[in-house]
């Protein structure tokens, strides 16, 4: 019996519905694959690409150029949210989710096949940037659809909990991506890893794509979107419509996501770069990655906990408390990370990534709840990915520069500024816990 049928016998003329287990699997597996692809690139951008895709001579310059290609995906993500959001609100969630998965997966596999700088010169980083753009395009359409798949199939009282299922794709994908890199670097020599081993995680994405497609092709359309189809309430141009009717929701949703993105990419990409740099903490890659993976476990564990809390106390109040905690953590980040103590470094990663789980978990419900059904895919995706553009695209680059020029205290200050921006947006936002997801258009909301 499905979620939608739990209150009584289903109308035989009603559209088919998805079983809860299928909803959970499809939203979780799909985002896990997408985030795996995304984080494989993030890890390689620190460990591999500076050596293979850019001119040798200045290691810092090569690292910064590599991190710049990392940022390209965040420029592409709002484009992907507009593109896939249009089709998600016009054609449906299911078909669009399949297309976004293919876009992301093909781009990732192609990265694993690219020739390096020594083979084709400057064309190599250009092709790398193009494939990275494709990754961002696919992920731009992925998250919104997965969040809608979960929340539009959920009971209202458990919507934030269901909304954490696609959010769990982030820690699972990160764990898988870096677990593969850790295994390869532990079994291959450095020469073999740089010669061909780094390609394996990208090529493995082909297997994951097949799994994801099999799961998603078995889905039915969500009940909320089926209601839009039945009522003839589809927006003609969803992207234009959402900006016309829900501009305030887009702005607030974008700013609410800023602290989440800055926190995550400081705790992962920046700490990995700084932690393994001779000018930073000087850890061996494998040693620091183990510390980071311990922190990611707490990220995963606390993500559903945040959903339960948000269902009980509301999205807005939950996130206000967590954002204040992020501000406090920002003040302690520099002294803890720069202490040189492995215990304090691990504590930094565990606390930071625990806060990440707590702030990221409720977003899977909050952003969809800001928009009516006929523009929900576009609105939630655009807000989520504009938040990424503002919060994450420059975070590793900016933090690397701040640490080099001013020290780690400036990196903590950067996080504090991002959290204050998010806190102001939360104070201006409305509580969405009681919002109905069956409202077809803005006029009905």
Does residue 67 surpass a pLDDT of 80? no
Evaluate if residue 241 carries a pLDDT over 80.
yes
Measured CA to CA, the distance from residue 396 to residue 381 in angstroms comes to 23
Mean pLDDT over 332-337 rounds to 94
Does residue 440 carry a pLDDT above 80? no
Residue 297 has pLDDT above 60, yes or no: yes
Report whether pLDDT(105) > 60. Answer: yes
| Average pLDDT for the chain | 86
- Region 373-402: mean pLDDT is 88
Is residue 8 predicted with pLDDT exceeding 60? Answer: no
Q: End-to-end distance of the chain based on CA atoms, in angstroms?
A: 29
CB 109 within 8 A of CB 202: yes
Q: What is the pLDDT of residue 2?
A: 41
- The per-residue b/e assignment along 63-93, b for 16 or more CB within 10 angstroms, e otherwise, is bbbbbbbbbbbbbbbbbbbbbbbbbbbbbbb
Lowest average pLDDT, out of 53-67, 145-159, 289-303, 374-388, goes to 53-67
Specify the pLDDT at position 190: 83
Which band of pLDDT confidence, cut at 50, 70 and 90, is reported for residue 272?
confident
Mean pLDDT of 266-284: 88
Does residue 87 register a pLDDT over 70? yes
443 pLDDT tier (thresholds 50, 70, 90): very low
- Residue 57: φ, ψ to 5°: 130, -45
pLDDT at position 11 over 60: no
Residue 57's alpha-carbon distances to 44, 53, 63, 397, in angstroms, are: 19, 13, 11, 19
Domains of the chain: 17-444 (1.20.1250.20)
**What is the DSSP annotation of 148-213?**
HHHHTTS-GGGHHHHHHHHHTHHHHHHHHHHHHHHHHHHHS-HHHIIIIITHHHHHTHHHHHHHHH
pLDDT confidence of residue 12: 46
Q: How far apart are CA 262 and CA 77, in angstroms?
A: 16
Residue 418 has pLDDT above 90, yes or no: yes
CA 101 to mean position of chain CA atoms: 14
DSSP 8-state code for residue 266 = I
Across residues 318-331, what is the average pLDDT? 98
pLDDT tens-place string over residues 123-181: 988 999 999 999 889 888 888 888 888 888 888 889 999 999 999 988 998 888 888 88
- What percentage of the chain carries pLDDT values higher than 70? 93
**In the 8-state DSSP scheme, what is residue 17?**
-
Q: What is the pLDDT of residue 410?
A: 95
Of the ranges 4-8, 353-357, 410-414, which one carries the lowest mean pLDDT score? 4-8
Q: Does the pLDDT value for residue 313 go beyond 90?
A: yes
User: Which of 6-10, 189-193, 346-350 holds the top average pLDDT?
Assistant: 346-350
Structural tokens at position 44: 């390689």
What is the predicted pLDDT for the residue at 445? 36
Q: 344-348, 376-380, 425-429 — which is least confidently predicted?
A: 376-380
Average pLDDT over residues 1-30: 60
Question: Average pLDDT of 202-231?
Answer: 79
Tokens read off for 188: 């291959």
- 95 C-beta neighbours (distance < 10 Å), count: 16
Query: Taking a C-beta distance cutoff of 8 angstroms, is the pair 164, 37 a contact?
Result: no
Q: What share of the chain is helix, strand, coil (3-state, %, to 5)?
A: 80, 0, 20
């Amino acid at each position: 019996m499905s979620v939608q049928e739990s209150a009584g016998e289903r109308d035989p003329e009603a559209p088919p519905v998805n079983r809860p287990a299928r909803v959970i699997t499809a939203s979780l597996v799909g985002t896990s694959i997408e985030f795996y692809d995304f984080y494989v690139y993030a890890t390689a951008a620190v460990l591999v690409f500076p050596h293979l895709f850019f001119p040798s001579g200045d290691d810092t310059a090569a690292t910064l150029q590599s991190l710049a290609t990392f940022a390209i995906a965040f420029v592409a993500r709002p484009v992907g949210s507009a593109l896939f959001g249009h089709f998600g609100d016009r054609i449906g969630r299911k078909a669009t989710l399949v297309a976004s998965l293919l876009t992301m997966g093909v781009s990732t596999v192609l990265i694993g096949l690219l020739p390096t700088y020594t083979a084709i010169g400057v064309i190599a980083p250009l092709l790398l940037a193009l494939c990275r753009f494709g990754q961002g395009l696919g992920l731009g359409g992925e998250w919104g659809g997965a969040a809608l798949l979960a929340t539009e199939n959920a009971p209202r009282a458990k919507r934030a909990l269901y909304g954490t299922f696609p959010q769990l794709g982030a820690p699972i994908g990160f764990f898988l991506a870096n677990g593969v890199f850790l295994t390869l670097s532990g079994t291959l020599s450095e020469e073999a890893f740089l010669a061909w081993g780094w390609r394996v995680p990208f090529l493995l994405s082909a297997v994951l794509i097949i799994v994801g497609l099999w799961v998603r092709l078995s889905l039915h359309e969500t009940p909320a979107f089926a209601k839009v189809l039945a009522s003839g309430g589809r927006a003609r141009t969803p992207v234009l419509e959402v900006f016309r009717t829900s501009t305030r929701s887009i702005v607030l949703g974008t700013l609410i996501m800023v602290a989440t993105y800055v926190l995550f990419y400081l705790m992962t990409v920046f700490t990995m770069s700084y932690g393994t740099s001779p000018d930073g903490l000087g850890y061996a890659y494998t040693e620091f990655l183990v510390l980071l993976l311990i922190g990611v476990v707490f990220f995963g564990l606390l993500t559903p906990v945040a959903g339960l809390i948000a269902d009980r106390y509301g999205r807005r109040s939950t996130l206000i408390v967590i954002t204040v905690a992020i501000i406090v953590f920002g003040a302690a980040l520099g002294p803890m990370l720069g202490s040189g103590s492995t215990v304090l470094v691990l504590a930094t990663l565990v606390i930071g990534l625990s806060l990440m789980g707590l702030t990221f978990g409720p977003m899977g419900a909050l952003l969809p709840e800001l928009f009516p059904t006929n523009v929900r895919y576009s609105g939630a995706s655009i807000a989520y990915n504009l938040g990424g553009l503002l919060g994450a695209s420059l975070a590793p680059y900016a933090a690397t520069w701040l640490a080099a020029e001013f020290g780690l205290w400036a990196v903590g200050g950067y996080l504090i500024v991002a959290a204050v921006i998010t806190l102001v947006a939360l104070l201006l936002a409305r509580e969405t816990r009681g919002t109905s997801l069956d409202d077809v258009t803005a006029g009905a909301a």
